[in-house]
Structure 1
Amino acid sequence: MKISHNSSLKELNTFKVDCITKTHIVVENNNDFKDKEFLKYTNDTNPLFLGGGSNVLFTKNLTQPVVQIKTKGKEVKKENDKFMIIKIEAGENWDDFVKWSIEHNLIGLQNLAYIPGTVGATPIQNVGAYGVETKDFLVEVSVINIKDGTEITLTNKECKFGYRDSIFKHELKDSYIVKNITLNLEKYNGHIDDKYLQYAGIKEMADNQNLSLNSLYKIIADIRKSKLPSIEKYGTCGSTFKNPQLPIDEYERLKEQFPDLPMYSTEIENIVKIPAAYILEKLGWKNKRVGDVGTWIYHPLIVTNYGNATGAEILSFIKDMQTDFKSKTNLDLETEINIV
């Protein structure tokens, strides 16, 4: 465990905004969670836990401790010719693990290619893309009580997964931190199910080549790269907003205003999901700039720091987008990111 004070977090968040934290704690070993020094900080105040910093917007300097999780490790719990059950520590880089799964002939995670952040963040957000979500593969999550260092394990059902949502955003928020996750991944048998190819652009590109797990990963990574700013050059957390879910009759009302508005089914009867980006583009938010803050050239869901914007300036821009969206649609535009 490493502890520093009055530390800048600019290099630890992908929005690239400067923020000073009073106390910065780096956890590199799971035993650190039971360390008296660690518990002293977490008992006094509610710490902010940080993985890859790819889903957080800092809007002010912080007096609360910031705990960065850097634990590493993978352990195969069970394996046969059809599947592998594997436990992964929270500090592992997510995209590195996705590539590891492909190297080990495991199918499923390739649709979650090129998503920044750490393994520990995936169940919190129920990370998803291109028809796949964390919950589809998750067996259980081990979490640590930040007040006393005790550990409990939650099943998939107990995590209460929803669209970009879980128990970790509600009942367990600020009281437990993800230690590791366990996934059940199928062995690749040479066949890629259509459920992995259903989104626009994927099947078209897949039909033009001999498809494999590696080539499908590359297709999805290339699609994401074409839509996203380079995180080496610009500050961004990717998609800033959730896609609204609404009753089918409300969707029909919106179609009167936006005749070509797409919709997607959900697991909830009579509830559909609509692409917020479609409406935002119609409202003129694509490639819109205010100073150093704006939406990305190719995608209005992606709020971007083009230079030296502060967190407060980015938040103001986000709120303007939400206000406009609400006034034009009577729908709330919820953020995916954690605003601090």
Structure 2
Amino acid sequence: MCTSVTFLSETGDNFLARTMDFDFDLDGRPVVIPRHQHFNSDAGKDGYDTKLAFVGAGRNIGNYILVDGVNERGLSGAALYFSNEASYANQIKSDQTNIASHEVLNWLLGNADSCEDAADLIKKLNVVNVPIKLLGKVVPLHWILSDRYGDCRVLEIRADGVHYLKNPVGVMTNSPDFDWHLKNLNNYTELQPNPHPDRDYSGYRISSFGPGNGALGMPGDYTSVSRFVRTAFMRQYTISAQSKDAVNVLSHILNSVEIPKGVKLKENGDSDYTQYRSYMDSSRLTYYMQPYDNQTISRVVLTEELMDKSEPIEFPLNHEQTYHVLN
């Protein structure tokens, strides 16, 4: 449920993209959160404040909750499901920022200038074990962050503490933990874009049936483990491009992990599918959204006018299933 990947263009601009895979219709749409906002928190009466503007996919459920986005300093991020691994605090701590898991991304994008800056903020963070009203349960999440300098990190809060990790491969999916995914890549050292050489078996020569055999053994299912390997391979070998073509390149990379309705069913029969893809440009402060029912990619740009608004602004679907676009 969800895949994320970074991409550094030939012209040095950094992008973050993700699929949002879920069985419950989240009804997300582009939302701009202006500067200097106060949010009530499900974790306690004090709530939390943000100073930076950001844009991403979200929904108003009493407060605006965003699940991905990019802020005015070029820090982008996404929240991904982390079932059976996430572990949060049961009590509020008076000397820390106490928020729920579904509020973490808002707080980070609203206050951090970069991945390095986020490292200092995270020391003051206490994620509390409280449910989100929309689902009626605590949402187990981990987070990927990427900034305009090309730095990429993963934040995981597990039973043994807070882990804020360098992400050398620029990819994240779901459980198991991120360190496990990195180690698992060691099982796929044979993957390559070029063909494997012919082999000789006691004088009998064998050849492949054509180009592409270098990727034989790459997992093709929709588990988080397989999606991680597949996306890491695609990111590594996809030909780079200029910034103007980066979203198109990322769209092709995510094609390999997009989940159509009906091909990934849960035990209760619900279909887990890719509700949308998003693409975040850290240099141009632009958020792109590509919904399942309409593959048209639309964008919202963080302008000074939007960043200085007094209240959040959303860009909902219209009756033709397209997004309002702000150029």
Q: TM-score scaled to structure 1, two decimals?
A: 0.28
Q: TM-score scaled to structure 2, two decimals?
A: 0.28
Larger relative contact order (CA 8 Å, sep ≥ 6): 2
* More helix as a share of residues: 1
* More strand as a share of residues: 2
